[in-house]
Structure 1
Amino acid sequence: MILEALAIGYRYEDGTQALDNVSLTIAPSQKLVVVGANGAGKSSLLALLNGSFKPSAGEVRLNGKPVGYDRKGLTLLRSNVGLVLQDPDDQLFAASVFEDVSFGPLNLGLSVEEARKRVMHALEVMEISDLSHRPTHLLSFGQRKRVAIAGILAMSPSVLLLDEPTAGLDPKGVEDLTKTLDDLAKHDVAVVVATHDMDVAYTLADRVAVFSRGKVVMQGVPEEVFGDARFCERSGLRLPIVYQISAGLRDLGLIAGAEGCPRSVDELLTRVSAARSARIESR
């Protein structure tokens, strides 16, 4: 495992228990989606995994070793584990896109040439190379989101943490970002997304962890978690729309059930079309 949380707990200064005995593991190329209602503890978890917070109980491990909270330990952690905040304006501060994305690599002590290579690659991955010299304050919200992610990717992390990455995006922006995160996982970046967008969670996740009141109440593969009759009661969330439709069609025998439920609208339509063709051929 690249990153592990072992029985971690965290209390805010006012005594509020944000996390209680939380254990999670993150493997290479894995897409872990953490779901839960507002206030469930998702953002606190990401801050602990990134070293922004220090657990009051338990420990975080990077590549099997406990994280140190001195300057050296935190530098090592943050060079491997990047955090993208919900509001991109909390991360963007340079005058231009190129300058902003350059900040992290240059802070790692890389040469100007190596930093430039990383920046150009990150901009290309996020499909914003054409914005490299644009002032950050003239970007749309979705563009600023992509610049914020590019700034973390330019540091070549092993794990990318994202807090509500699709919040504020239009449907096309959500679709594009989901595809980008899926592609990153295929190129050996572990992706951890905290969200209450159930449709994004279902489309993206390899594994799902359900948070409620600072605890992990369920975790497993998406069909296992969303197929649990107690999901809505325990999470305070609704089921993903595609899952609800797919499960209904499967139960009615209108699509084959052996392959599990479709994970996206496109997959659902393909399966419905295939089932329709099979019925016509059998007549």
Structure 2
Amino acid sequence: MTTNLLEFKDVQYTYPGGKAPVLRGISLGIPEGKKCVLLGRNGCGKSTLFLHGNGIFQPQRGEVFWRGQSFVYKRSFLQEMTKKVGLVFQDPEHQLIASTVSEDVSYGLLNQRLAPELVRKKVHQILERFGLLAMADAPIHHLSLGQKRRLALAGVMVLEPELLLLDEPTAYLDRYQTKNLLRELDQIHAHGTTVLMATHDLDVAFEWAEWICVLDEGRVVFAGEPDEALAKREMLEELDLGVPLIADVWAALPIELREEWGGKVPRSLAEFTQRMNVSRFGENP
């Protein structure tokens, strides 16, 4: 049985001065141990939902739960939640607050009042893990966008959260940088962290995710496995999300060939190529 780490029940939120709710009674559970994606076009409520996920925002109606315990909007509880639920913003400039790389990564650890020797050890380990050790003393304003995003991710992961929330992490990244990011997220997931990524990139979502939720106008319209979402092609197109390119390529093949190559839409080009080679040569190349 799947356990939900984070759960939203009938959550509603309207920004001050706003005319309509951004979140309209959202009820949703984030399954533990999965690589998850939150899909939806811009303005559907993805970022606002994330800001409720570790207590930065408080629902105006409804409740948020962590492992079945309702959020308590007091300093001690919320400080604990920032360790359990790590949030990486879309724009790293909103997250990086120190002068140098190592100072920024150490900020959250110092707030925990850890011994200086332990802080130095953890900072060294996380900078090495994310390929930032050589620039430990570099001023943050000298970093590229990709390096700043990696630093923001390192600053969250040094706290060893159980759940990692990433808001549009592939925005403005090229294909090479996106592949590197997804490899990093695979490693984070392999070390035991549940990952939830907000995006409107269908190709990234269906290649990487094990579980998908679709939002539209502040409501949940789908939650389940990627194959189930792909079967709702009409819904995806009505929401202006479209379908992954690989799904269009698959649909263009003769039905006999699709059945011979496994029936279901491949999740990636690599899987497509593998099925084709198995069909032609009878074994994996």
Alignment-derived partner of residue 149 in structure 1: 153
Please say which of residues 8-17 and 123-132 is displaced more in the overlay: 123-132
* Superposed displacement of residue 126, structure 1: 2.2
The answer to whether 1:176 aligns with 2:180 is yes
* Superposed displacement of residue 73, structure 1: 1.5
Alignment-derived partner of residue 17 in structure 2: 14
* Superposed displacement of residue 272, structure 1: 1.8
Does the 8 Å CA contact 2:233/2:242 hold for their aligned counterparts? no
The answer to whether 1:86 aligns with 2:90 is yes
Q: Counterparts of 1:192-231 in structure 2 under 5 Å?
A: 192-231=196-235
For the residues of structure 2 that align with 1:167 and 1:2, how far apart are their CA atoms?
Answer: 26
Task: Give me the CA root mean square deviation.
Answer: 1.8
Deviations 1:96-141 (A, max 9, x none): 1111111111112222222223222322332322222222111111
Question: Does the residue aligned with 2:170 lie in a helix, a strand or coil?
Answer: coil
For the residues of structure 1 that align with 2:271 and 2:119, how far apart are their CA atoms?
Answer: 40
Alignment-derived partner of residue 261 in structure 2: 256
Alignment-derived partner of residue 3 in structure 1: 6
Question: Does the residue aligned with 2:172 lie in a helix, a strand or coil?
Answer: coil
Q: Counterparts of 1:27-176 in structure 2 under 5 Å?
A: 27-176=31-180
Does the 8 Å CA contact 1:82/1:160 hold for their aligned counterparts? yes
Question: Does the residue aligned with 2:22 lie in a helix, a strand or coil?
Answer: strand
Please say which of residues 244-253 and 172-181 is displaced more in the overlay: 244-253
Off by >3 Å, runs of 4+ in structure 1:
246-252
Unaligned runs of 5+ in 2: none
Question: Does the residue aligned with 1:83 lie in a helix, a strand or coil?
Answer: strand
Identical columns (%): 38
For the residues of structure 1 that align with 2:107 and 2:36, how far apart are their CA atoms?
Answer: 27
For the residues of structure 1 that align with 2:122 and 2:173, how far apart are their CA atoms?
Answer: 26
* Superposed displacement of residue 234, structure 1: 4.2
Does the 8 Å CA contact 1:123/1:129 hold for their aligned counterparts? yes
Which of 235, 240, 245 is residue 239 of structure 2 equivalent to?
235
For the residues of structure 1 that align with 2:246 and 2:271, how far apart are their CA atoms?
Answer: 10
With the length of structure 1 as denominator, give the TM-score of the two structures: 0.92
For the residues of structure 2 that align with 1:272 and 1:9, how far apart are their CA atoms?
Answer: 47
Does the 8 Å CA contact 1:217/1:234 hold for their aligned counterparts? no
For the residues of structure 2 that align with 1:189 and 1:166, how far apart are their CA atoms?
Answer: 19
